[in-house]
Amino acid sequence: MNMIDIISKKRDGQALSQAEIQYWVDAMVADQVPDYQSSALLMAIYINGFNEQETSDLTLAMAHSGDVVDLSSIAGKIADKHSTGGVGDKTSLVLTPLVAACGGKVAKMSGKGLGHTGGTIDKLAAIPGFSTSLDSQRFIQQVNDINCAIIEQTANLVPADKILYALRDVTATVSAVPLIASSIMSKKLASGADTILLDVKYGDGAFMATKEAAIELAETMISIGNNNNRDTRAIISSMEQPLGYSIGNALEVKEAIDTLRDEGPEDLRELCVEAASIMLVQSKVHDDIESAKAHVEEVLASHQALEKFKEMIQAQDGDPSVVDFISKFPKSNLRSAVLAPQSGYIAKIHAQNLGMAAVALGAGRQVKDDPINYGVGIVLTVKVGDPINKDDALCIVYHDEPIEDAFLEQVMHDFEISDKPVAASPLIETILD
Protein backbone atom coordinates (compact mmCIF):
# COMPACT_ATOMS: atom_id res chain seq x y z
CA MET A 1 0.00 0.00 0.00
CA ASN A 2 1.26 3.50 -0.67
CA MET A 3 -0.04 7.06 -0.47
CA ILE A 4 0.12 7.75 -4.24
CA ASP A 5 -2.31 4.89 -4.95
CA ILE A 6 -4.62 6.01 -2.13
CA ILE A 7 -4.64 9.63 -3.35
CA SER A 8 -5.24 8.51 -6.98
CA LYS A 9 -8.17 6.34 -5.93
CA LYS A 10 -9.93 9.17 -4.11
CA ARG A 11 -9.03 11.64 -6.89
CA ASP A 12 -10.88 9.31 -9.28
CA GLY A 13 -13.94 9.21 -7.05
CA GLN A 14 -13.58 5.68 -5.70
CA ALA A 15 -14.27 4.67 -2.10
CA LEU A 16 -11.26 3.93 0.14
CA SER A 17 -11.13 0.70 2.12
CA GLN A 18 -10.81 0.57 5.91
CA ALA A 19 -7.22 -0.71 5.48
CA GLU A 20 -6.29 2.23 3.25
CA ILE A 21 -7.74 4.79 5.66
CA GLN A 22 -6.02 3.09 8.61
CA TYR A 23 -2.70 3.03 6.68
CA TRP A 24 -2.93 6.79 6.02
CA VAL A 25 -3.79 7.73 9.63
CA ASP A 26 -1.12 5.44 11.16
CA ALA A 27 1.61 6.60 8.79
CA MET A 28 0.64 10.26 9.25
CA VAL A 29 0.81 10.05 13.06
CA ALA A 30 4.17 8.23 12.76
CA ASP A 31 5.37 11.22 10.71
CA GLN A 32 5.85 9.06 7.62
CA VAL A 33 3.49 10.97 5.30
CA PRO A 34 4.63 14.35 4.01
CA ASP A 35 2.11 17.16 4.53
CA TYR A 36 1.72 17.61 0.75
CA GLN A 37 0.38 14.05 0.37
CA SER A 38 -2.09 14.36 3.27
CA SER A 39 -3.15 17.76 1.89
CA ALA A 40 -3.71 16.30 -1.58
CA LEU A 41 -5.83 13.52 -0.08
CA LEU A 42 -7.80 16.03 2.02
CA MET A 43 -8.58 18.03 -1.12
CA ALA A 44 -9.65 14.86 -2.96
CA ILE A 45 -11.96 14.00 -0.01
CA TYR A 46 -13.27 17.59 0.02
CA ILE A 47 -14.14 17.41 -3.68
CA ASN A 48 -15.26 13.77 -4.08
CA GLY A 49 -16.63 13.16 -0.57
CA PHE A 50 -16.62 10.14 1.72
CA ASN A 51 -19.46 7.65 2.00
CA GLU A 52 -20.87 6.67 5.42
CA GLN A 53 -18.50 3.71 5.79
CA GLU A 54 -15.41 5.75 4.91
CA THR A 55 -16.42 8.52 7.35
CA SER A 56 -16.91 5.94 10.09
CA ASP A 57 -13.57 4.24 9.28
CA LEU A 58 -11.73 7.58 9.38
CA THR A 59 -13.37 8.50 12.69
CA LEU A 60 -12.34 5.22 14.33
CA ALA A 61 -8.79 5.32 12.96
CA MET A 62 -8.45 8.88 14.31
CA ALA A 63 -10.05 8.03 17.69
CA HIS A 64 -7.45 5.29 18.24
CA SER A 65 -4.49 7.38 17.07
CA GLY A 66 -3.61 8.36 20.65
CA ASP A 67 -4.94 8.09 24.23
CA VAL A 68 -8.36 6.50 24.64
CA VAL A 69 -9.80 7.49 28.01
CA ASP A 70 -11.20 4.66 30.13
CA LEU A 71 -14.04 5.91 32.33
CA SER A 72 -15.32 2.43 33.24
CA SER A 73 -14.46 2.93 36.92
CA ILE A 74 -17.10 5.66 37.16
CA ALA A 75 -20.40 4.17 38.32
CA GLY A 76 -23.38 4.84 36.05
CA LYS A 77 -23.64 6.30 32.56
CA ILE A 78 -21.35 9.20 31.70
CA ALA A 79 -22.96 11.95 29.64
CA ASP A 80 -21.02 14.27 27.34
CA LYS A 81 -22.09 17.26 25.33
CA HIS A 82 -20.35 19.04 22.49
CA SER A 83 -21.10 22.35 20.85
CA THR A 84 -19.81 22.98 17.35
CA GLY A 85 -18.86 26.40 18.64
CA GLY A 86 -20.49 29.76 18.89
CA VAL A 87 -20.07 33.28 20.23
CA GLY A 88 -21.01 33.74 23.88
CA ASP A 89 -21.56 29.99 24.23
CA LYS A 90 -21.12 29.32 27.94
CA THR A 91 -23.59 26.39 27.93
CA SER A 92 -21.12 23.80 29.33
CA LEU A 93 -20.54 25.93 32.44
CA VAL A 94 -24.26 25.78 33.24
CA LEU A 95 -25.08 22.30 31.95
CA THR A 96 -22.34 20.40 33.75
CA PRO A 97 -23.41 21.30 37.32
CA LEU A 98 -27.09 21.27 36.29
CA VAL A 99 -26.99 17.67 35.06
CA ALA A 100 -24.78 16.65 38.02
CA ALA A 101 -27.21 18.21 40.53
CA CYS A 102 -30.00 16.10 38.97
CA GLY A 103 -28.03 12.88 39.49
CA GLY A 104 -26.34 12.58 36.06
CA LYS A 105 -22.60 12.06 35.64
CA VAL A 106 -20.56 14.45 33.49
CA ALA A 107 -16.86 13.79 32.92
CA LYS A 108 -16.03 16.47 30.41
CA MET A 109 -12.88 17.15 28.43
CA SER A 110 -12.87 20.53 26.74
CA GLY A 111 -10.61 22.61 24.56
CA LYS A 112 -9.20 26.11 24.52
CA GLY A 113 -10.67 28.68 22.15
CA LEU A 114 -9.14 29.62 18.83
CA GLY A 115 -10.58 32.21 16.47
CA HIS A 116 -13.92 33.93 17.13
CA THR A 117 -15.41 31.19 19.36
CA GLY A 118 -14.29 30.98 22.99
CA GLY A 119 -13.24 27.75 24.74
CA THR A 120 -14.69 26.37 27.99
CA ILE A 121 -11.19 25.87 29.42
CA ASP A 122 -10.36 29.57 28.99
CA LYS A 123 -13.63 30.57 30.65
CA LEU A 124 -12.94 28.33 33.65
CA ALA A 125 -9.44 29.79 33.92
CA ALA A 126 -11.10 33.13 34.74
CA ILE A 127 -12.10 31.62 38.12
CA PRO A 128 -9.25 32.36 40.55
CA GLY A 129 -7.23 29.17 41.27
CA PHE A 130 -9.37 26.84 39.08
CA SER A 131 -7.31 23.92 37.72
CA THR A 132 -8.25 22.13 34.50
CA SER A 133 -5.21 19.83 34.40
CA LEU A 134 -6.21 17.06 36.83
CA ASP A 135 -4.63 13.64 36.28
CA SER A 136 -6.99 10.87 35.22
CA GLN A 137 -7.18 9.30 38.70
CA ARG A 138 -8.28 12.60 40.28
CA PHE A 139 -10.66 13.30 37.38
CA ILE A 140 -12.42 9.95 37.83
CA GLN A 141 -12.47 10.25 41.64
CA GLN A 142 -14.07 13.71 41.42
CA VAL A 143 -16.84 12.46 39.11
CA ASN A 144 -17.48 9.54 41.46
CA ASP A 145 -17.60 11.96 44.44
CA ILE A 146 -19.59 14.93 43.11
CA ASN A 147 -20.90 13.74 39.68
CA CYS A 148 -18.94 16.21 37.55
CA ALA A 149 -15.56 17.52 36.44
CA ILE A 150 -14.29 19.53 33.47
CA ILE A 151 -10.67 19.17 32.43
CA GLU A 152 -8.51 20.10 29.46
CA GLN A 153 -8.08 17.46 26.76
CA THR A 154 -4.86 15.50 27.26
CA ALA A 155 -2.05 16.39 24.86
CA ASN A 156 -2.19 12.95 23.22
CA LEU A 157 -5.97 12.79 22.66
CA VAL A 158 -6.49 12.18 18.92
CA PRO A 159 -3.10 13.36 17.60
CA ALA A 160 -4.35 12.61 14.07
CA ASP A 161 -6.90 15.43 14.45
CA LYS A 162 -4.23 17.92 15.49
CA ILE A 163 -2.27 17.17 12.29
CA LEU A 164 -5.31 17.08 10.01
CA TYR A 165 -6.96 20.18 11.50
CA ALA A 166 -3.78 22.23 11.04
CA LEU A 167 -3.57 21.09 7.39
CA ARG A 168 -7.28 21.69 6.72
CA ASP A 169 -6.97 25.18 8.14
CA VAL A 170 -4.36 26.18 5.53
CA THR A 171 -5.62 24.18 2.53
CA ALA A 172 -9.24 25.44 2.42
CA THR A 173 -10.58 22.00 3.37
CA VAL A 174 -12.17 22.72 6.78
CA SER A 175 -15.81 22.85 5.76
CA ALA A 176 -16.43 19.30 4.50
CA VAL A 177 -19.03 17.32 6.45
CA PRO A 178 -17.04 14.01 6.60
CA LEU A 179 -13.95 15.87 7.81
CA ILE A 180 -15.78 17.94 10.46
CA ALA A 181 -17.79 14.91 11.63
CA SER A 182 -14.72 12.67 11.97
CA SER A 183 -12.77 15.44 13.71
CA ILE A 184 -15.48 16.01 16.34
CA MET A 185 -16.61 12.41 16.79
CA SER A 186 -13.09 10.96 17.05
CA LYS A 187 -12.48 13.23 20.05
CA LYS A 188 -15.84 12.34 21.59
CA LEU A 189 -15.27 8.58 21.15
CA ALA A 190 -11.72 8.83 22.57
CA SER A 191 -12.99 10.82 25.59
CA GLY A 192 -14.85 7.76 26.84
CA ALA A 193 -18.40 9.00 27.63
CA ASP A 194 -21.40 6.66 27.15
CA THR A 195 -23.76 9.26 25.71
CA ILE A 196 -23.16 12.27 23.47
CA LEU A 197 -25.38 15.31 22.98
CA LEU A 198 -24.31 17.54 20.08
CA ASP A 199 -25.32 21.18 19.87
CA VAL A 200 -24.88 21.86 16.16
CA LYS A 201 -25.11 25.56 15.51
CA TYR A 202 -25.89 27.35 12.28
CA GLY A 203 -25.79 30.98 11.20
CA ASP A 204 -23.46 33.93 11.20
CA GLY A 205 -21.32 32.96 14.19
CA ALA A 206 -21.22 29.21 13.45
CA PHE A 207 -19.30 26.70 11.35
CA MET A 208 -22.33 25.73 9.27
CA ALA A 209 -24.01 28.67 7.57
CA THR A 210 -27.46 27.11 7.05
CA LYS A 211 -29.93 24.92 8.96
CA GLU A 212 -29.76 22.32 6.20
CA ALA A 213 -25.96 22.05 6.46
CA ALA A 214 -26.18 21.81 10.27
CA ILE A 215 -28.75 18.99 9.98
CA GLU A 216 -26.59 17.10 7.48
CA LEU A 217 -23.57 17.37 9.82
CA ALA A 218 -25.65 16.34 12.84
CA GLU A 219 -27.10 13.29 11.06
CA THR A 220 -23.62 12.14 10.03
CA MET A 221 -22.33 12.48 13.61
CA ILE A 222 -25.40 10.76 15.11
CA SER A 223 -24.92 7.75 12.87
CA ILE A 224 -21.20 7.50 13.79
CA GLY A 225 -22.03 7.71 17.51
CA ASN A 226 -24.91 5.24 17.41
CA ASN A 227 -22.85 2.76 15.33
CA ASN A 228 -20.27 2.87 18.12
CA ASN A 229 -22.75 2.13 20.91
CA ARG A 230 -23.00 5.71 22.14
CA ASP A 231 -26.51 7.11 22.46
CA THR A 232 -25.99 10.22 20.29
CA ARG A 233 -28.55 13.00 19.77
CA ALA A 234 -28.38 16.57 18.50
CA ILE A 235 -29.92 19.97 19.07
CA ILE A 236 -29.85 22.20 16.00
CA SER A 237 -29.64 25.77 17.30
CA SER A 238 -29.34 29.24 15.83
CA MET A 239 -26.19 31.34 16.12
CA GLU A 240 -27.81 34.27 14.32
CA GLN A 241 -26.86 36.36 17.35
CA PRO A 242 -24.56 35.69 20.34
CA LEU A 243 -25.94 33.35 23.01
CA GLY A 244 -26.94 35.35 26.10
CA TYR A 245 -25.55 38.87 26.43
CA SER A 246 -21.89 38.39 27.44
CA ILE A 247 -18.82 37.65 25.30
CA GLY A 248 -15.47 37.28 27.10
CA ASN A 249 -14.22 34.89 29.75
CA ALA A 250 -15.00 36.32 33.23
CA LEU A 251 -18.08 38.09 31.81
CA GLU A 252 -19.38 34.75 30.51
CA VAL A 253 -18.73 32.91 33.79
CA LYS A 254 -20.70 35.61 35.60
CA GLU A 255 -23.59 35.12 33.15
CA ALA A 256 -23.41 31.35 33.70
CA ILE A 257 -23.63 31.97 37.47
CA ASP A 258 -26.68 34.23 36.93
CA THR A 259 -28.26 31.39 34.93
CA LEU A 260 -27.52 28.84 37.67
CA ARG A 261 -29.15 31.30 40.09
CA ASP A 262 -32.12 31.26 37.68
CA GLU A 263 -31.65 34.92 36.85
CA GLY A 264 -29.91 34.46 33.51
CA PRO A 265 -30.83 35.35 29.92
CA GLU A 266 -33.85 33.57 28.49
CA ASP A 267 -32.10 32.07 25.43
CA LEU A 268 -29.23 30.58 27.44
CA ARG A 269 -31.68 29.18 30.00
CA GLU A 270 -33.86 27.63 27.28
CA LEU A 271 -30.89 25.87 25.66
CA CYS A 272 -29.52 24.63 29.00
CA VAL A 273 -32.88 23.28 30.23
CA GLU A 274 -33.48 21.45 26.95
CA ALA A 275 -29.94 20.05 26.76
CA ALA A 276 -29.84 18.99 30.43
CA SER A 277 -33.19 17.20 30.06
CA ILE A 278 -32.00 15.27 27.00
CA MET A 279 -28.75 14.32 28.77
CA LEU A 280 -30.69 13.03 31.79
CA VAL A 281 -32.84 10.85 29.52
CA GLN A 282 -29.73 9.62 27.66
CA SER A 283 -28.15 8.76 31.04
CA LYS A 284 -31.35 6.94 32.06
CA VAL A 285 -31.75 9.14 35.16
CA HIS A 286 -35.19 9.94 33.72
CA ASP A 287 -37.42 7.93 31.37
CA ASP A 288 -38.92 10.87 29.53
CA ILE A 289 -38.16 14.50 28.69
CA GLU A 290 -41.14 15.89 30.66
CA SER A 291 -40.05 14.41 34.00
CA ALA A 292 -36.41 15.35 33.29
CA LYS A 293 -37.47 18.95 32.56
CA ALA A 294 -39.49 19.17 35.78
CA HIS A 295 -36.43 17.97 37.74
CA VAL A 296 -34.11 20.45 35.96
CA GLU A 297 -36.50 23.33 36.69
CA GLU A 298 -36.67 22.35 40.37
CA VAL A 299 -32.87 22.10 40.69
CA LEU A 300 -32.46 25.54 39.11
CA ALA A 301 -35.13 27.18 41.28
CA SER A 302 -33.74 25.67 44.51
CA HIS A 303 -30.15 26.71 43.61
CA GLN A 304 -28.94 23.10 43.91
CA ALA A 305 -27.21 23.49 40.53
CA LEU A 306 -25.52 26.68 41.77
CA GLU A 307 -24.31 24.80 44.87
CA LYS A 308 -23.00 22.00 42.59
CA PHE A 309 -21.02 24.59 40.61
CA LYS A 310 -19.44 25.78 43.88
CA GLU A 311 -18.59 22.17 44.75
CA MET A 312 -16.92 21.69 41.37
CA ILE A 313 -14.92 24.92 41.77
CA GLN A 314 -13.78 23.81 45.25
CA ALA A 315 -12.87 20.31 44.05
CA GLN A 316 -10.74 21.80 41.24
CA ASP A 317 -8.75 24.12 43.55
CA GLY A 318 -10.74 27.26 42.68
CA ASP A 319 -12.20 29.85 45.04
CA PRO A 320 -15.95 29.06 45.31
CA SER A 321 -16.66 32.39 47.02
CA VAL A 322 -16.50 34.05 43.56
CA VAL A 323 -20.01 32.78 43.02
CA ASP A 324 -21.32 35.06 45.78
CA PHE A 325 -18.70 37.82 45.47
CA ILE A 326 -18.40 38.43 41.76
CA SER A 327 -16.06 41.39 42.39
CA LYS A 328 -13.37 38.69 42.87
CA PHE A 329 -13.39 37.96 39.11
CA PRO A 330 -10.76 39.60 36.91
CA LYS A 331 -12.20 42.82 35.50
CA SER A 332 -11.19 45.39 32.93
CA ASN A 333 -10.27 48.96 33.89
CA LEU A 334 -12.19 50.74 31.17
CA ARG A 335 -15.70 50.67 29.70
CA SER A 336 -17.06 52.26 26.55
CA ALA A 337 -20.67 52.28 25.42
CA VAL A 338 -21.52 51.77 21.74
CA LEU A 339 -24.58 53.90 20.92
CA ALA A 340 -27.38 53.33 18.43
CA PRO A 341 -27.06 55.66 15.42
CA GLN A 342 -30.86 55.69 14.88
CA SER A 343 -34.13 54.55 16.48
CA GLY A 344 -35.86 51.35 15.34
CA TYR A 345 -35.71 47.63 16.04
CA ILE A 346 -32.66 45.38 16.27
CA ALA A 347 -32.74 43.29 13.07
CA LYS A 348 -29.39 41.46 13.16
CA ILE A 349 -26.40 41.12 15.46
CA HIS A 350 -23.32 39.81 13.64
CA ALA A 351 -22.03 37.25 16.12
CA GLN A 352 -18.84 36.34 14.31
CA ASN A 353 -17.68 39.99 14.04
CA LEU A 354 -18.42 40.57 17.74
CA GLY A 355 -16.49 37.39 18.59
CA MET A 356 -13.53 38.70 16.60
CA ALA A 357 -13.84 42.12 18.28
CA ALA A 358 -13.65 40.42 21.70
CA VAL A 359 -10.54 38.52 20.53
CA ALA A 360 -8.99 41.84 19.43
CA LEU A 361 -9.59 43.20 22.96
CA GLY A 362 -7.60 40.23 24.35
CA ALA A 363 -10.43 37.82 25.28
CA GLY A 364 -9.18 35.13 22.87
CA ARG A 365 -6.20 34.01 20.83
CA GLN A 366 -5.26 34.94 17.28
CA VAL A 367 -2.48 32.32 17.41
CA LYS A 368 -2.04 29.27 19.64
CA ASP A 369 0.06 30.70 22.47
CA ASP A 370 -1.39 34.21 22.74
CA PRO A 371 -2.01 35.27 26.37
CA ILE A 372 -5.63 35.86 27.41
CA ASN A 373 -7.03 38.88 29.24
CA TYR A 374 -9.83 37.34 31.33
CA GLY A 375 -11.59 40.61 32.22
CA VAL A 376 -12.21 42.10 28.77
CA GLY A 377 -15.13 41.52 26.41
CA ILE A 378 -18.44 42.85 25.20
CA VAL A 379 -21.82 42.83 26.94
CA LEU A 380 -24.83 43.37 24.70
CA THR A 381 -27.66 45.49 26.02
CA VAL A 382 -30.07 44.41 23.25
CA LYS A 383 -31.11 41.25 21.40
CA VAL A 384 -32.74 40.76 17.99
CA GLY A 385 -36.30 42.14 18.00
CA ASP A 386 -35.74 44.69 20.79
CA PRO A 387 -36.84 48.30 20.17
CA ILE A 388 -34.04 50.88 20.44
CA ASN A 389 -33.87 54.68 20.62
CA LYS A 390 -31.14 56.73 18.96
CA ASP A 391 -28.16 57.12 21.35
CA ASP A 392 -29.25 54.26 23.61
CA ALA A 393 -26.48 51.71 24.27
CA LEU A 394 -26.25 48.70 21.94
CA CYS A 395 -23.48 47.17 24.02
CA ILE A 396 -20.74 47.97 26.51
CA VAL A 397 -17.13 47.23 25.59
CA TYR A 398 -14.93 46.20 28.56
CA HIS A 399 -11.28 46.96 27.80
CA ASP A 400 -7.92 47.64 29.41
CA GLU A 401 -6.16 49.65 26.68
CA PRO A 402 -7.65 52.84 25.23
CA ILE A 403 -9.60 51.93 22.07
CA GLU A 404 -10.02 53.95 18.92
CA ASP A 405 -13.32 55.43 17.76
CA ALA A 406 -12.97 53.32 14.59
CA PHE A 407 -13.18 50.14 16.70
CA LEU A 408 -16.38 51.32 18.41
CA GLU A 409 -17.82 52.35 15.05
CA GLN A 410 -17.06 48.91 13.63
CA VAL A 411 -18.87 47.29 16.59
CA MET A 412 -21.81 49.66 16.04
CA HIS A 413 -22.11 48.35 12.46
CA ASP A 414 -22.42 44.79 13.80
CA PHE A 415 -25.93 45.75 14.97
CA GLU A 416 -28.40 46.22 12.12
CA ILE A 417 -31.41 48.40 12.91
CA SER A 418 -34.70 48.24 10.99
CA ASP A 419 -37.51 50.80 10.89
CA LYS A 420 -40.08 48.01 11.19
CA PRO A 421 -40.61 45.54 14.08
CA VAL A 422 -38.52 42.37 13.71
CA ALA A 423 -39.39 38.88 15.01
CA ALA A 424 -36.39 36.92 16.30
CA SER A 425 -36.13 33.38 14.89
CA PRO A 426 -36.40 30.52 17.41
CA LEU A 427 -33.16 29.52 19.17
CA ILE A 428 -33.79 25.77 18.94
CA GLU A 429 -34.63 24.75 15.39
CA THR A 430 -35.08 21.04 15.96
CA ILE A 431 -33.89 18.05 17.98
CA LEU A 432 -32.57 14.93 16.26
CA ASP A 433 -32.23 11.51 17.87
Binding site for ligand URA (CB under 6 A): 84, 180, 183-184, 207
* 97 vs 159: CA distance, rounded Å: 29
Give 157 or 376: the residue with its C-beta nearer to ligand URA. 157
> Which of 168, 188, 233, 350 is flagged as catalytic?
168
Smaller CB distance to ligand URA: residue 180 or 279?
180
Rounded distance between C-alpha atoms, residue 174 and residue 314, angstroms: 39
187 is catalytic: yes
Is the CB of 167 or the CB of 305 nearer to ligand URA? 167
Task: For residue 208, give the DSSP letter.
Answer: B
Which amino acid would we find at residue 419?
D
Active site residue 82: yes
Q: Which of 10, 82, 116, 399 is catalytic?
A: 82
Mark whether 413 is an active-site residue: no
CB of 322 to ligand URA, least distance (A): 29
Catalytic residue among 56, 65, 183, 238: 183
β 415-418/195-202 pair status: unpaired
CA distance 218 to 227: 14
Nearer to ligand URA, 164 or 305 (CB): 164
Phi and psi at 397, nearest 5°, equal -95, 125
Q: How far is the CB of 110 from ligand URA (least distance, A)?
A: 11
Integer Rg of the chain from CA: 22
Distance in Å, CB of 359 to ligand URA, minimum = 17
Q: Are strands 393-399 and 105-110 parallel, antiparallel or unpaired?
A: unpaired
Q: How far is the CB of 169 from ligand URA (least distance, A)?
A: 9
Of residues 132 and 183, the one with the C-beta less far from ligand URA? 183
Q: State the Cα angle at 274 between 224 and 278, rounded to 5°.
A: 45
Chain position whose Cβ is nearest to ligand URA: 183
**How many angstroms separate the CA atoms of 274 and 277, rounded?**
5
Question: For residues 363 and 377, is the Cβ–Cβ distance under 8 A?
Answer: yes
Backbone angles phi, psi at 86, to 5 degrees: -160, 175
In whole angstroms, the minimum distance from the beta carbon of 22 to ligand URA comes to 20
What is the rounded CA–CA span in Å between residue 332 and residue 358? 13
Active site residues: 82, 161, 168, 183, 187
